[in-house]
Amino acid sequence: MPKIDLESVGMRLTAVRTASGLTSGQFANTVSIDPSSYSKIELGKKPLNVDMGFRVSERWGVSMDFLYRGRLNEVPESIIRTLRAIENEDR
């Protein structure tokens, strides 16, 4: 069974947050996630549990497939552009 790439999940969350123009703490509060836990999730140090993923999905209009698998179907263009910029920074 394939494992979820925690760093990639974190990168996609960073893209959603950055496209929203919010700080890490502000973003965490919009989806009722403890800010310190959210920071660890964004860094790929802690998994994004399904309940948290669902809240992000519902609040920010991205699919669970995007968050966990990186599938870009029906993801807002601003988030895709931000994700690409973040990926290019990591290279």
* Residue 39 lies inside a defined structural domain of this protein: yes
46 Cβ partners below 8 Å, 6+ apart? 6, 37, 40
- Residue 34 sits in which domain range? 6-89
Residues 33-42 have a mean pLDDT of 97
pTM of the shown model? 0.88
Can you give the pLDDT at residue 2? 76
* Residue 75 lies inside a defined structural domain of this protein: yes
Residues 47-69 have a mean pLDDT of 96
Domain count along the chain? 1
Asked if residue 53 has pLDDT above 80, the reply is yes
* Contact predicate 65/1, CB 8 Å: no
Can you give the pLDDT at residue 65? 94
Say which CATH number the domain at 67 has: 1.10.260.40
Rounded to 5 degrees, what angle do the CA atoms 13, 87, 69 make?
50
- 91 vs 65, higher pLDDT: 65
* Residue 60 lies inside a defined structural domain of this protein: yes
Confidence of residue 20 (pLDDT cuts 50, 70, 90): very high
* Residue 34 lies inside a defined structural domain of this protein: yes
Can you give the pLDDT at residue 91? 64
* Residue 1 lies inside a defined structural domain of this protein: no
